Amino acid sequence: MSAPERGLIQIVGAAIVDDLERPRQLLAARRTRPAQFARLWEFPGGKVDPGEGCEAALLRELDEELGVKATLGAEVPGETSQGWKLAGPAAMRVWFARIDRGFPLPIEDHDLLRWVPLDGAAGALEWIPADLPIVEAVSSAARY
């Protein structure tokens, strides 16, 4: 996995879908903090720890935040090697993911989880603004 470059904070996020082969539904999570993002919807995930690989970090975050063991599918490629540019000095790599074990619950950082149809997902919820192009890319990557 590529190490963080040029001081950008590396974030990883999961587009959890009902089925990696024929995705129809996306699992969105509503943040509780900080104030600027509270009540906005996002991809579960978080910061990559120093020395940690991006995919390992994402699997760890999904376990901590939602209580699930997941398998990652394809990456949703962003504009840079560090993924999609977020607000501030941060970028997020995003992978499709499928839950293998556990029922997803908002254990940490979220107060609600919701499955939304991939078709129209960007308009279905109030996403973190930086996530909108990512949600659109996820929806179109899943179209077949």
Ligand X SMILES: Nc1nc2c([nH]c(=O)n2[C@H]2C[C@H](O)[C@@H](COP(=O)(O)OP(=O)(O)OP(=O)(O)O)O2)c(=O)[nH]1
Q: What is the DSSP string of 80-136?
A: BTTBEE-SSSEEEEEEEEEEEES-----SSEEEEEEEESTTHHHHS-B-GGGHHHHH
Q: Is 109 in the site for ligand X (CB under 6 A)?
A: yes
| Span near ligand X by CB under 6 A; candidates 20-28, 43-51, 98-106, 110-118 | 43-51
Q: Is 72 in the site for ligand X (CB under 6 A)?
A: no
Residues 91 and 31: their CA atoms lie apart, in Å, by 18
Q: Is 26 in the site for ligand X (CB under 6 A)?
A: no
Q: Is 95 in the site for ligand X (CB under 6 A)?
A: no
Nearer to ligand X, 19 or 64 (CB): 64
Q: Is 130 in the site for ligand X (CB under 6 A)?
A: yes
Residues 83 and 81: their CA atoms lie apart, in Å, by 5
Q: Is 83 in the site for ligand X (CB under 6 A)?
A: no
| Span near ligand X by CB under 6 A; candidates 37-45, 68-76, 113-121, 136-144 | 37-45
Closest CA to 12 of 58, 50, 49: 58
Q: Is 104 in the site for ligand X (CB under 6 A)?
A: no
Token pair for 77: 């490629």
How far is the first Cα of the chain from the last one, in angstroms, to the nearest whole number?
Answer: 29
Q: Is 45 in the site for ligand X (CB under 6 A)?
A: yes
Q: Is 46 in the site for ligand X (CB under 6 A)?
A: yes
Closest CA to 94 of 36, 33, 10, 37: 10
Instruction: Write out the residues near ligand X by the rule CB under 6 A.
Output: 11, 13, 37, 42-43, 45-47, 86-87, 90, 92, 109, 128, 130-131
